Amino acid sequence: MDLLNINPLQWQALFCCFLSAFIIGLERQLQGKPVGIRTSALICMGTYVFVAVTGAHFDTAGDPSRIVGQVITGIGFLGAGVMLAKDGSVVGVTSAASIWILAAIGVLVGLGHHWLGVKMAILTVVILVGVNLMENSFAFMQRGVHGKFRRQRRPTRKKGARPVEASE
């Protein structure tokens, strides 16, 4: 019994899944978003396991591409759970898209393209960070739903002043 044998899975593939998930999850976690490192790693590695096991055991019988289709559907539901309607707008769409790309990376790794998954993770973070920098730098990119929410400060009272009472 070999404890390090994880056949049909591969250690290099699991490492690539974790590295990809770490790259994306770290950016999301640093931004205070719901899909951090832990969630990213579980999504990416879980997808890899489904695809790799299916490919290894069902080459001759059945259609392994069905698993990929079912993963996409399941991840869609998971992403939908991250999105919320708040004050007339929808929030969490980027986190849902991050979940989707994490699953896509898991599929890539499961199909044998280990390091392509890491490259996709880097490209994903370039998009997330790059567009965020552009939105913060250019006013024309802050229109509509892309405007940044800024809290209005409450007016401060002078020391010793009485609060204004509501009129009846």
User: Which of 84-93, 135-144, 147-156 is the least confident region?
Assistant: 147-156
| Domain annotation covers residue 140 | yes
Domains identified in the chain, total number = 1
Q: What is the pLDDT of residue 157?
A: 59
| Domain annotation covers residue 152 | no
> Residue 151: what residue type?
R
| Domain annotation covers residue 1 | no
Helix or strand or coil: residue 118?
helix
Q: In terms of pLDDT, which residue wins out, 1 or 139? A: 139
| Domain annotation covers residue 164 | no
Q: What is the mean pLDDT of residues 15-21?
A: 98
| Domain annotation covers residue 160 | no
| Domain annotation covers residue 165 | no
The structure tokens listed for 85 are 């309607």
Parent domain of 138 = 11-146
Residue among 51, 43, 82 at smallest CA distance from 67: 51
The structure tokens listed for 63 are 């259609």
